[in-house]
Amino acid sequence: MESKENIKISKIPTHLPKSNILVLIWQDVGSLYSIFGDHKKSIHSYERALQQNERNAIIWYKISVEYIILSNYELAIKNSYRLKEFDSNGLYFNTIIGHIYLKKGDIKKSYLSFEAAVLSKNEIDPFLAYSIGLFYESVGLFDIALKLFSKSLKKYFYHDFIVDLVYRTGVMVKVTNSGYSIRVFSVLLRERFYSRLEKKSIKIQIAHLLVLIGKYKDALDLITDILKIDQRYIFALRLRCYIFYKMNDLVNAEHSCVFTIRDLGVGDAYIWYILGLCKRESGNFEAALDHLVMSSRKDTNNWWLWNTLGILYSKIGQYSEAEKSFNSAIKTNPLFSEADYNLNILRTGNMASGDMIDLFADISETSFLSAPAVFDYPTHYHLRYKYYNGSNKVLTEYMPFESYFRT
């Protein structure tokens, strides 16, 4: 007759092989390390799980995500191709690759990868929702990005991503609701979030909020405090140049840009952009062109800059260069209807550049100051879109994901 102890043991499920049980254990250990921010140990734990079952696509996927958190994109790509061997429908592989394309500023390839991931499964994985949210943020569609971030927040357990999601939410909603945004940022200054973000990252957002409500002097005072901590902090340097330009103080705007570029050695695309605009406003089109071209060399993915260049080329009669610039804007971001509108004006022979739509990369209408806690993907200096000539038809072609996250 069996003892009670033997009966109890016999009721323990034994259908799982020992190797599978070890996979689950090491997977849980890896997840815990990830939650507490030790991503190297998390990767090591996941690799221990792979020693038991190297064909586990989810483990390969989680390792790739950890490498993304560590900004080691080379190893993330390497692991994603091992993942591809075991990812039957391509969901995990396309999610990782799409995120990396976004990091590199290749919006078109990023979009195609995310589309393939969404179509592979009738459900959006939290990291996929986060990644597609970054995609929509990068093309200026903040309302959709917020929906996706909200969807991801409901399921995500990666602590670093939670910090980044809360931070991005605060950045985006401040355009329409400064009070709510301040409350969001105050959350980041409490408890465990405090150690995850530097004070200057929060202060620069507060300075931005002051700009939104027109308190330029207070914003400049706060920027001065930030630059005492880190005189090369790019987001503060950008905002300082922007504020002077916005105040129509072209002398100080130009001085601030030149000081940043020459004395600090910070040749940022946005700084060159503001300097080019200062020269344009003063009527020095040749210098303006030189500075704007320099900005385009620093970052070829800025569609708003290509549009500005196209208008300037049109103004000085270099129509072939203008056409190339507008085409570059459209190629970089097919959703950018203003460049298409301007190109049509150019091709119809109406060379009056005053009829063209010139969008300033206005910080007050954007979230380009976002200094992500985890990711530092190429900033696109987001624009508030105005859709012309039925361009919503073009937009809908790039929104197949919408049915998956309607709220």
pLDDT, tens only, 19-53 = 677 878 888 888 778 766 688 898 999 999 888 88
User: What pLDDT band is residue 255 in, cutting at 50, 70 and 90?
Assistant: very high
In a domain, 171, yes or no: no
Whole-angstrom distance, CA of residue 106 vs CA of residue 142: 19
384 pLDDT exceeds 50? no
Report which residue type is found at 330: I
SS3 97: helix
SS3 391: coil
In a domain, 335, yes or no: yes
In a domain, 63, yes or no: yes
291 pLDDT exceeds 90? yes
Which of 236, 230, 228, 187 lies closest to 211, judged by CA?
236
Whole-angstrom distance, CA of residue 136 vs CA of residue 105: 13
Q: Who's near 97: CB < 8 A, 6+ residues apart? A: 77, 80, 113
Report the pLDDT averaged over residues 328-338. Answer: 79
Which of 93, 129, 149, 162 lies closest to 374, judged by CA?
162
Whole-angstrom distance, CA of residue 327 vs CA of residue 140: 20
Report the pLDDT averaged over residues 298-324. Answer: 87
pLDDT at 224: 92
pLDDT at 269: 84
Burial class of residue 317, CB neighbours in 10 A (0-12, 13-18, 19+): exposed
Greater pLDDT, 181 or 8: 181
Greater pLDDT, 161 or 356: 356
- Look at residues 76, 106, 136 and tell me which one is the last residue of a structural domain: 106
Contact indicator for 369, 200 with CB cutoff of 8 Å: no
Which helix (H) or strand (E) element contains residue 358? none
Other residues' Cβ atoms within 10 Å of the Cβ of residue 388: 14
In a domain, 384, yes or no: yes
pLDDT at 381: 24
Percentage of the chain lying above the pLDDT 90 cut: 15
Count structural domains, the chain.
Answer: 2
Tell me, what CATH number does 55's domain have?
A: 1.25.40.10
57 pLDDT exceeds 90? no
Instruction: Please report, for residues 127, 197, 246, 375, the alpha-carbon distance to residue 68 in angstroms, rounded to integers and kept in the order given.
Output: 11, 18, 37, 8
- Look at residues 84, 106, 128 and tell me which one is the last residue of a structural domain: 106
Q: What is the rounded average pLDDT for all residues in the chain?
A: 72
Q: Report pLDDT digits (tens) over 176-195.
A: 555 555 555 555 555 444 44
- Look at residues 85, 106, 127 and tell me which one is the last residue of a structural domain: 106
| Tokens representing residue 392 in the block | 């919503």
272 pLDDT exceeds 50? yes
In a domain, 343, yes or no: yes
Query: How wide is the angle at C-alpha 157 spanned by C-alphas 153 and 162, nearest 5°?
Result: 50
pLDDT at 367: 35
Lowest-confidence pick of 88-92, 312-316, 332-336: 332-336
Contact indicator for 30, 42 with CB cutoff of 8 Å: yes
In a domain, 117, yes or no: no
In a domain, 297, yes or no: no
Instruction: Please report, for residues 29, 47, 63, 68, 289, the alpha-carbon distance to residue 73 in angstroms, rounded to integers and kept in the order given.
Output: 23, 18, 12, 6, 35
The reply to whether the predicted model has a pTM over 0.85 is no
Whole-angstrom distance, CA of residue 159 vs CA of residue 178: 25
Residue burial 293-305, b: 16+ Cβ < 10 Å; e: rest: bbbbebbebbbbb
Q: Report pLDDT digits (tens) over 204-238.
A: 767 776 776 678 898 899 899 889 888 888 888 98
Lowest-confidence pick of 29-33, 256-260, 374-378: 374-378
Contact indicator for 304, 383 with CB cutoff of 8 Å: yes
Most confident of 3-7, 13-17, 18-22, 324-328: 324-328
Greater pLDDT, 89 or 261: 261
In a domain, 215, yes or no: no
Report which residue type is found at 370: S
155 pLDDT exceeds 50? yes
Residue-range definition of the domain harbouring residue 325: 303-360+377-407
pLDDT at 287: 96
